[in-house]
Amino acid sequence: MTGSRKKSADRENQRTSRRNFLKAAGGSAVAATVAAVAVPSLATDDESGQQADKKQYGMVIDVRKCIGCHSCSVACKAEFDVPLGATRSWVEYTDKGTYPNVSRNFLPRLCNHCRHAPCVDVCPTGATYKRKQDGIVVVDAGLCIGCKYCIQACPYDARFLNPLTGVVDKCDFCIHRVSKGLEPSCVNSCVGGARIFGDISDPESEISRVMATNPVTVLRPGMGTEPNVYYIGADHSDEHENKRGWYDVRVTTHRKEKDRR
């Protein structure tokens, strides 16, 4: 091979090597880009700086299925050894009408685990707080001083001072069960299947589907607390309607404090 032919062959080999290198480098870059798109960040932040995928537990009570059997109240008392005269969960009877045209409706009650919980705002020690990971409002017995501020602030009569412990107590959605993937005790024991519990921030959850396909109401919406306990078919009549003269209304609360808020 002559000198000129040898130089020409060397230049061709260099160009071929350069093309092969660029192809390899380009392929690696594309692969890296695809990998970055295929594995997005799992923890995205919302405007408040908190994780956008956090849960908000809530409950829907379908009053059309409630028969007033009190299995929920009994299960709650058994689960937490609630003292006599105190309740974490209870069922109200509402009798309405003028004899013989009368009706009876049931209204199960419990802590509403409000988005804007006034009990949290008034607690001087921080014993009552709303859990960031699931929105459940809880009481830290070790911090509670029994001042009863939260009891007065709650618009739903959901709290009581436990005479055995000297601290405030209430429904906590059975955290000890929920953390293990179980339903709250009242939901598990409901013979009519009137209670649905779950993550209302998940549009695919059962509770979200029920709320999307049924009109729901909450207790005392004018308080602005944004409760996370919802009702289907509930009769929110109260005894103040007696003053209107339309019909008689009698509410039985089955609690130590007989007046309903």
Q: Are residues 25 and 75 in the same domain?
A: no
Which residues lie across from 250 on neighbouring strands?
95
Cβ neighbours around 79 below 10 Å, total: 18
Chain position carrying tokens 């008392």:
77
- Distance between CA atoms of 169 and 152, rounded to whole angstroms? 13
Residues 20 and 61 in one domain: no
- Going by pLDDT thresholds of 50, 70 and 90, the confidence category of residue 261 is low
- pLDDT of amino acid 253: 75
62 in the same domain as 102? yes
- Higher-pLDDT residue of 240 and 140 is 140
Number of folded domains in the chain? 2
Q: Are residues 14 and 94 in the same domain?
A: no
Is 259 part of a structural domain of the chain?
Answer: no
> Which domain range does residue 11 map to?
1-38
179 and 98 within one domain? yes
SS3 of residue 247 by DSSP: coil
- Give yes or no for a contact between 136 and 167, defined as CB atoms under 8 angstroms apart: no
Same domain, 92 and 180: yes
CA distances from 195 to 19, 85, 108, 181 (A): 68, 24, 10, 16
> Do 242 and 233 touch, CB atoms closer than 8 A?
no
- Region 230-252 average pLDDT: 77
CATH code: domain of residue 204? 3.30.70.20
- Residue 133 belongs to a domain: no
Can you tell me the distance from the alpha carbon of 245 to that of 261, in angstroms, rounded to the nearest whole number? 21
Its sign, for the CA torsion 141, 143, 146, 152, is negative
Q: Cα–chain-centroid distance for residue 162?
A: 24
Does residue 241 belong to any structural domain of this protein? Answer: yes
- Reported as a pLDDT band with limits 50, 70 and 90, residue 246 is low
Same domain, 22 and 72: no
DSSP letter (8 states) at residue 14 = H
pTM, whole model, 2 decimals?
A: 0.76
pLDDT band at 250 (very low <50, low <70, confident <90, very high): confident
Tell me: do 179 and 106 sit in the same domain. yes
How many alpha carbons lie under 13 Å from residue 19 in its C-beta half-sphere? 6
Q: How far apart are CA 169 and CA 213, in angstroms?
A: 34
Query: What was the pLDDT predicted at 231?
Result: 98
* In a shared domain, residues 176 and 227: yes
Give Cα separations from 249 to 58, 66, 148, 231 (angstroms).
Answer: 29, 20, 31, 20
**CA–CA separation, 209 and 42 (whole Å):** 25
203 lies in some domain: yes
Q: Do residues 177 and 208 share a domain?
A: yes
In this structure, the answer to whether residues 197 and 246 fall within a common structural domain is yes
Domain for residue 115, yes or no? no
90, 72, 67, 96: which is closest to 254 by C-alpha? Answer: 90
Q: Is residue 102 part of a domain?
A: yes
Per-residue pLDDT at 227 exceeds 70: yes
Distance CA 138, CA 119 (A): 10
> Are 30 and 78 contained in the same domain?
no
High-pLDDT (> 70) share of the chain, %: 73
Confidence (pLDDT) at 77 = 96
Residue 98 forms part of a structural domain: yes
The pLDDT, as a whole number, for residue 79 is 97
> What are 41-93's pLDDT values in tens digits?
223 344 444 455 689 999 999 999 999 999 999 999 999 999 998 999 999 99
Average pLDDT of the residues of the chain: 82
Higher per-residue confidence, 29 vs 131: 131
231 domain residue, yes or no: yes
